[in-house]
């Protein structure tokens, strides 16, 4: 099967409006290109129609190479909806190419992810989890889906969150939210285990915050944790401070609850 492009406008720009097209800019004299090409071709055959491969010989198509500022080859660009969505340069090993594609390709479940975000914003964690689990099963490399499912599991199975988030590394775009959920998962798991926490006057309020987390009531959780922070900053290894920071990280600083509670948190932190 030939992947060589004869008509870039039709085979890449127009075609990418139906399916993502991965374009390999190469030349016959380029050693790394000759190493990368067969890897991309093999992966394209295994892609199951999720993306297609097109190859552009820069010696034969200098005008196309110039139009896309190809300064070094091999250069690989992913086209989606007629535009470059992401790219890399050099002969990457196959595992790195797969990670690139997992990150860069549009999810076939984009509409379901948007619906899951809406359900989570409304506190409907159960329906969100039922929507997200098949996505994670089908797309284990979809880190956004994993983070959303982990958030949904706060209410029902916080003990599963660590394993759910294990593939989310420190360089992932969703790494901050994943770390926030790891913090909150521990607290949600503690909600029904008062004996696991040290005796202190603030323990009941701390547990109330943990229970509110498990119920998906972030406002009540913040109120409780800020009160603990005012009374005993070091309780549970500064757990109240970490809980508040994690909630703000998960919801985002533009969320109404961040606007409502961040000043009180900051004041308690520095009191």
Which is catalytic among the residues 5, 21, 30, 97?
Answer: 30
User: What per-residue confidence (pLDDT) applies to 226?
Assistant: 98
Length of the chain: 271
Residue pair 191/206 in contact by the 8 Å Cβ criterion: no
Which of 104, 125, 140 is the last residue in one of the domains? 104
- Dump pLDDT digits (tens) for 83-139: 999 999 999 999 899 888 888 888 778 889 999 999 999 989 999 999 999 999 988
Q: What is the pLDDT of residue 192?
A: 81
**Does residue 240 sit in the same domain as residue 165?**
no
pLDDT at 110 (0 to 100) = 82
CA distances from 54 to 1, 28, 77 (A): 11, 15, 10
| Residue 147: per-residue pLDDT | 96
110, burial (CB in 10 Å: exposed 0-12, middle 13-18, buried 19+): exposed
Is residue 200, in this structure, part of any structural domain at all?
A: yes
Rg (CA), the chain: 24
What pLDDT does 150 receive?
Answer: 97
Residue 244 above 70 pLDDT? yes
Q: Are residues 163 and 195 in the same domain?
A: no
Whether omega for the bond prior to residue 74 falls within 30 degrees of 0, making it cis, is yes
What residues contact 103, with CB distance under 8 A and at least 6 apart? Answer: 86, 143, 173
Same domain, 15 and 100: yes
Mean pLDDT of 42-59: 90
Structure tokens at 9: 């406008």
Tell me the DSSP string of 8-47.
HIIIIIIGGGTS-EEEEEE-TT-HHHHHHHHHHHHHHHHS
Residue 163 binned pLDDT confidence (cut-offs 50, 70, 90): very high
Q: Active site residue: 5, 12, 33, 91, which one?
A: 33
Are 18 and 79 in a shared domain? yes
Query: What does the pLDDT read at residue 228?
Result: 97
179 and 231 together in one domain: no
> Backbone phi, then psi, for 47, in 5-degree steps?
-75, -15
Query: What's the pLDDT band for 188 if we cut at 50, 70, 90?
Result: very high
Which CATH number covers residue 80?
3.40.30.10
pLDDT band at 59 (very low <50, low <70, confident <90, very high): very high
Looking at the structure, do residues 13 and 79 belong to the same domain, yes or no?
A: yes
Q: How many CB atoms lie within 10 A of CB 192?
A: 11
Confirm whether 86 is domain-assigned: yes
DSSP letter at 196 equals G
Residue 2 lies in a domain: no
Q: What is the pLDDT of residue 67?
A: 94
Give the structural domain span for 59. 8-104
The DSSP string of 141-174 is T-HHHHHHHHHHHTTT-GGGHHHHTTT--TTSTT
Q: Which residues pair with 86 in a beta bridge?
A: 78
Q: Calculate the alpha carbon distances from 43 to 54, 76, 173, 226 in Å.
A: 12, 14, 24, 51
Looking at the fold, whether 35 and 79 belong to one and the same domain comes out as yes
Please check whether residue 1 lies inside any domain of the structure: no
Please give the tally of structural domains in the chain.
3
Give the global pTM.
0.68
Proportion of the chain above pLDDT 90, given as a percent: 83
Supply the pLDDT for residue 141: 81
Mean pLDDT of the chain: 93
Q: Which of 86, 104, 122 is the last residue of a domain?
A: 104
Domain boundary among 170, 185, 200: 185
Does a structural domain hold residue 3? Answer: no
> Taking Cα atoms as reference points, which of 8, 141, 171, 73 lies closest to residue 87?
73
How far is residue 200's CA from residue 45's CA, in Å, rounded to a whole number? Answer: 62
- Residue 1 pLDDT grade (very low, low, confident, very high; cuts 50, 70, 90): low
Residue 244 annotated to the active site? no
Judge whether residue 223 has pLDDT over 80. yes
């Amino acid at each position: 099967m030939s992947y060589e492009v004869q008509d870039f406008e039709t085979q890449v720009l127009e075609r990418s409006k139906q399916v993502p097209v991965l374009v390999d800019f190469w030349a016959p004299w380029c050693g790394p290109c000759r190493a990368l090409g067969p890897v991309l071709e093999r992966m394209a055959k295994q892609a199951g129609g999720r993306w297609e491969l097109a190859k552009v010989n820069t010696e034969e198509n200098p005008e196309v190479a110039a139009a896309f500022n190809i300064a070094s080859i091999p250069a690989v660009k992913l086209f989606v909806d007629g535009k470059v969505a992401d790219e890399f340069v050099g002969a990457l090993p196959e595992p790195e190419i797969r990670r690139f594609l997992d990150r860069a390709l549009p999810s076939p479940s984009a509409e379901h992810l948007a619906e899951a975000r809406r359900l989570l914003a409304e506190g409907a964690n159960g329906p969100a989890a039922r929507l997200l689990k098949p996505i994670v099963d089908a797309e284990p490399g979809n880190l956004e889906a994993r983070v959303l499912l982990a958030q949904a599991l706060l209410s029902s199975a916080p003990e599963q969150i660590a394993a759910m988030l294990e593939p989310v590394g420190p360089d992932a775009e969703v790494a901050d939210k994943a770390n926030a959920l790891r913090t909150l998962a521990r607290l949600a798991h503690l909600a029904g285990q008062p004996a696991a926490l040290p005796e202190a006057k603030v323990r009941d309020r701390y547990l109330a915050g943990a229970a509110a987390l498990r119920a998906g009531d972030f406002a009540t959780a913040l109120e409780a944790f800020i009160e603990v922070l005012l009374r005993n900053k070091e309780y549970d290894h500064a757990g109240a401070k970490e809980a508040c920071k994690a909630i703000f990280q998960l919801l985002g600083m533009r969320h109404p609850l961040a606007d409502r509670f961040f000043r009180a948190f900051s004041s308690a932190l520095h009191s």
